[in-house]
Structure 1
């Protein structure tokens, strides 16, 4: 089934016109935005291993953040704040902001953090929990997963005054077992992809529950209606271009009248960065809430509100992990080749040592190195989704991304083994590392002294030259 036929099928069959007699019940739209920016690594060479323990490209990270802040985050936050005030409690959105993004807001754009806090103060915005590092740790270790989620939830509560009750895993990765882990941590609702291969004939426009622990409610992304905004909005070859708020509401009204909730989940960078201002994306967003509230029986609600007001129609069975990435909606964007798998496994092989580490610098590097983007850059999928992967990739080739990451990971490995020695070899490594650090300190001290001596020597010579003149 090709894409155009599939879209037609989903709008004319699964989203067929409702029976007017069923139009009295209010239905729900859940808007949720992912906000994430990784800390990109600098070009970390083989000869840096053991000598230089700083891995990050500060210039690129700050440049990218400031660009996205100016084009997307600040203008969209400003628009959402106006819309919330304009519609007086009837317009609501939710955010899943990674800890790595929050950290960079503090460093490079505190005004963005303040604008998100202004949104939080309206009471119409929900902030979701996720893994602090935007990592794939849920696939490896339940305890480390729980630690990262708690770290992120505490961060959200500290910044926005909300204790999260809804959860969105990194890149919407979900399975029955992952959902059970999230339920055991006390969350009441989790978001994931309405993937065709798990839904079959079912609609994504209902509330479901976890197949193992039914107490966890599950919201499924309507990927057709989400991607109409996130990916197709500016495509002039699209049969539905240009997309207007009224046209979009017409599509919402064509959804079966029994369907209860439409989940629109997308990257926040959709507004202004992926879809530039010149495309009319901000005009569309500005007009959409009013058109929805005036011309449909839909209302806006946050994930936790939907979990409270609706009953699940059935469990959703997801034996193998799914995500919202690429056509396959699986994990191949991050773990689809041998390079990615080797990097992933070598990183988490260090976890027993990390669990014993007390060094805050090492623990912060541990979080940054887990960010899923590092694995995403190693992806070798160059077919249907190749353009998407290359758009986000700072490396020329996946191989270059792999070598760079493994060099940084090798240095981190040396440091963690030195910090937590368990045998004679580790003790020797720790001693060697200490000796090297002391040697470097001594060299720097001697260089500073030499510089002072040269400056002192040059001053009398300069005075003598002036007196001769």
Structure 2
């Protein structure tokens, strides 16, 4: 029996304000609050809230047979908590159905898996804590930022306790193989993989409202019939996309919500079910392993990481922020740690890409060079703040040793203080008893 696995990505970065060279050292607040609030409120109204209502209706109307998975970056969840708490509530309502699974990812929607393994592990832990705190569930499946995956990354993900991961069904990796099966990592066979079906995913994410497409208009009946026509042996159709497909990238007037509402009925007629990634991993077995020596992603035709690290601007910015990672992780100042997460979002590097110049996109900058200059000005101020806490002339190992000594001394002082408090209480109690005995006499 064939099953459809729906997965949606949700992420919003903290966008930076215009930050000039002369602001370095003088202004330590980096964010465009007006733009951040305006964008997430607009997307919540057009996409998150109506899409969540649609999915809740689909679950109920299908008799709990429709299922779906989400990953929401930690920085997006922070913005929802600040500006649109009603979106958090609507996701809690979906979780309560038991038909919605939350996946783990990097807290900052970062590129840490490509340059800072320790930070990658740290952000996985932080994301797990955030999902557990807000929704009361612990993620069992991992998806990396923009489905970035490689053999090296698979080893870290397995080390973190995950048995399943989502990634891109890139043609240059699969060759003649179909993405409609479960696979495993070639270096860590116990890590199982679900691969995005590009054709069917992009029929919805890119072509649904394209009037020039020869299959326009796409109906639920037609779409399900295409899936049903795949070879009988192909077990799972993985439809992975950005959640903004519903209502934002394809506005409500295109019929996208009505299209989704009709899917469960036509799927049932064809004997096709819906499953969460965890269910697929528990039901199926890998048919083969795949080897990915160099990182892949679900972005652009190349399905690589060149959209974020493809030019010298991006590489320089990424190198600079990775260099200070160990020092920041030693820091316990809330503002520095918070800025550290926000500055790692992959979006900042995407805005610097020269691949997309002249094309409509989501960059708040006029061109990649403005994006680079603005980011590096902010990063320069941030590095100054980190160095003020932990000077550059002390190497990381020495600094870590000093901080450990200080921490141990602090714990020792705290222990001695507790012992002193106990002795004081005993002394006070003894004096009270002696005083009471003297009164009785």
TM-score, length basis structure 1: 0.83
Alignment of 1:419 onto 2:389: yes
- How far apart in 2 are the matches of 1:424 and 1:339? 28
- How far apart in 1 are the matches of 2:200 and 2:230? 11
- How far apart in 1 are the matches of 2:170 and 2:228? 22
Structure 2 segments unaligned to the other structure (5+ residues): 396-441
Pick from 310, 318, 323 the counterpart of residue 292 of structure 2. 318
CA deviations on 1:354-373 (whole Å, 9 max, x unpaired) are 12212111001000000000
Alignment of 1:129 onto 2:104: yes
Q: Which residue of 2 aligns with 1:301?
A: 275
Which shifted more, 83-92 or 416-425? 416-425
* Matched positions, count: 396
Deviation at 1:289, TM superposition (A): 1.6
- How far apart in 2 are the matches of 1:392 and 1:130? 22
- How far apart in 1 are the matches of 2:363 and 2:392? 38
Q: Which residue of 2 aligns with 1:210?
A: 185
Counting only pairs closer than 5 Å after superposition, residues 151-162 of structure 1 correspond to structure 2 as 151-162=126-137
Q: Which residue of 1 aligns with 2:37?
A: 62
- How far apart in 2 are the matches of 1:209 and 1:127? 21
- How far apart in 2 are the matches of 1:177 and 1:107? 36
- How far apart in 1 are the matches of 2:93 and 2:364? 33
Deviation at 1:424, TM superposition (A): 8.7
Counting only pairs closer than 5 Å after superposition, residues 325-336 of structure 1 correspond to structure 2 as 325-336=299-310
Q: Which residue of 2 aligns with 1:257?
A: 232
- How far apart in 1 are the matches of 2:136 and 2:341? 24
CA deviations on 1:157-213 (whole Å, 9 max, x unpaired) are 111111111000000000111011101111111000000000000000000011111
Deviation at 1:422, TM superposition (A): 4.9
Alignment of 1:183 onto 2:153: no
Q: Is the 8 A contact 1:356 1:420 kept in 2?
A: no
- How far apart in 2 are the matches of 1:71 and 1:231? 18
Q: Which residue of 2 aligns with 1:39?
A: 14
**Structure 1 residues 424 and 231, CA, compared in 2 at 3 Å: closer, same or farther?**
closer
- How far apart in 1 are the matches of 2:184 and 2:341? 31
Q: Is the 8 A contact 1:211 1:317 kept in 2?
A: yes
Alignment of 1:375 onto 2:349: yes
Deviation at 1:423, TM superposition (A): 3.3
Deviation at 1:307, TM superposition (A): 0.5
Pick from 361, 365, 369 the counterpart of residue 399 of structure 1. 369
Pick from 351, 358, 370 the counterpart of residue 332 of structure 2. 358
Deviation at 1:140, TM superposition (A): 1.3
Deviation at 1:89, TM superposition (A): 2.0
Deviation at 1:352, TM superposition (A): 2.6
**Structure 1 residues 256 and 395, CA, compared in 2 at 3 Å: closer, same or farther?**
same
TM-score, length basis structure 2: 0.88
Q: Is the 8 A contact 1:168 1:191 kept in 2?
A: yes
Deviation at 1:410, TM superposition (A): 0.2
What's the secondary structure of 2:330's corresponding residue? coil
Alignment of 1:164 onto 2:139: yes
Moved >3 Å (runs of 4+)? 422-425
Structure 1 segments unaligned to the other structure (5+ residues): 1-25, 426-469
**Structure 1 residues 277 and 421, CA, compared in 2 at 3 Å: closer, same or farther?**
same
Deviation at 1:420, TM superposition (A): 1.3
What's the secondary structure of 1:264's corresponding residue? strand
What's the secondary structure of 1:346's corresponding residue? helix
CA deviations on 1:103-161 (whole Å, 9 max, x unpaired) are 00000000000000100010000000000000000111222111100000111111111
Which shifted more, 60-69 or 137-146? 137-146
Give the CA RMSD over aligned residues: 1.4
What's the secondary structure of 2:216's corresponding residue? coil
What's the secondary structure of 1:275's corresponding residue? coil
CA deviations on 1:31-70 (whole Å, 9 max, x unpaired) are 0000011110000111110000000000000000010000
Q: Which residue of 1 aligns with 2:122?
A: 147
Which shifted more, 320-329 or 156-165? 156-165
Alignment of 1:199 onto 2:174: yes
Q: Which residue of 2 aligns with 1:30?
A: 5
